[in-house]
Each structure stands twice: as structure tokens, then as C-alpha cells.
Amino acid sequence: MKRSGRVAGVYIAGGDNFQTSAVDVMPLTFAGIEGDHHCGITRRSGGREPWYRRGTEIRNERQLSIVAPDELAEIAAAMEISEVRPEWIGGNLLIEGVPRLSMLPAGTLLFFEGGATLKVDFQNGPCRLSGRSVARNAGLADIEGAALLFAKTAKRLRGLVAWVEKPGRITAGEAVSLRIPEQWIYQP
């Protein structure tokens, strides 16, 4: 199945912080976004991979975080705040025009006009770290309460993580076409 959308924003996380800042152009290599906090062909395992001892070197399938404006608005409404910005939760790509973006299956390919291709690994699970960032940026008094609320309300709306299948560059405003793989439900 094919779909298309548009890149509404590109963002890079420089330094030690996962929060991102808007840029005009996002250069991609096989390691991910040049200069980004999550750049690397491999990464260290953490709480999302309990089957490995923390710190084990594994493939970096989380090179980019992709979010959608309609889903961010839905999270904000559920949290009763005016907005949730991609930068607050470490979003690298804001893609509009793709309904239910967070529900795209693993293996979906995203082809960008600038030549880059990304491959979706899976949904990006909401965490309290991002929730704390939302709370601080939205000026909420109860940081921990808001962090828990974000983790609850952002489930299946937090976007996707992807890795670079073909290097290139991505710019705001360019078109993106998607190839969604055949889907089935495994039944043993």
C-alpha cells in the first residue's frame, strides 16, 4: 500500500540533551542524523530492552523519532495543555498528511524527495522523561504528575522510531511517500 505526506518540520538534538531544535536541512548518513544526540550505527541498551543487561551494545534502530501534528494535538488536549511541540519530546521529523502515523507497521519505508529513505522500526513508547520535558515546557506545576499523564495519554500517539536505510537529506516542506508492507497477525 502507498501513502504520501509532507515534512512539516525537521529537528536535531545537539549535545547531551534529547530535546531538539528546528533546522532547515537534516543531513543523514547510515549512522543517522549528523550531529544528533541519537546518531550512531549502534547504541547502548536500556530499560526498553530488558532482555539485555543495561549498556549492552546493540543496533541503533532509534536513529530518528517521527511525530505527527494531529497526534501531538490529541496528546495536548488529553493533558489539557495548549500544545505539545515536537522539540519537547525529541522529535526529529514532523510529518503531516498521514492518518494515524503512529500506527504504521514496522518495515514501512519512507522515501523523501531529497533522496533519503527511512525504515520504521516500531512505535515510540511514551516515557516519563519526555513527559517531564512536556511538563516543564508547558509550565505545569506538577512535573511528576504530568510525566505520568503523558506516558498514559501518549500511548499509540507518540510517533515512530526509524533508522536510515539510504542516506540523503531531508528538508522542511518536501514530500514523503510511504510504502506500507503487507500486514497480518501472527497466530501460533
Q: What is the pLDDT along the chain (188 residues), one digit of tens a residue?
A: 889 999 999 999 987 788 999 999 999 999 999 889 899 999 999 888 899 999 999 999 999 999 999 999 999 999 999 999 999 999 999 999 999 999 999 999 999 999 999 999 999 988 888 999 999 999 999 999 999 999 999 999 999 999 999 999 999 999 999 999 998 888 88
Assign residue 128 a region: left if phi > 0, alpha if psi is -120 to 50, beta otherwise? alpha
Q: What Cα–Cα distance (Å) separates residue 92 from each residue in 25, 34, 119, 143, 187? A: 11, 12, 14, 24, 35
pTM over 0.85: yes
Q: What Cα–Cα distance (Å) separates residue 141 from each residue in 69, 109, 119, 151, 154? A: 25, 40, 38, 17, 19
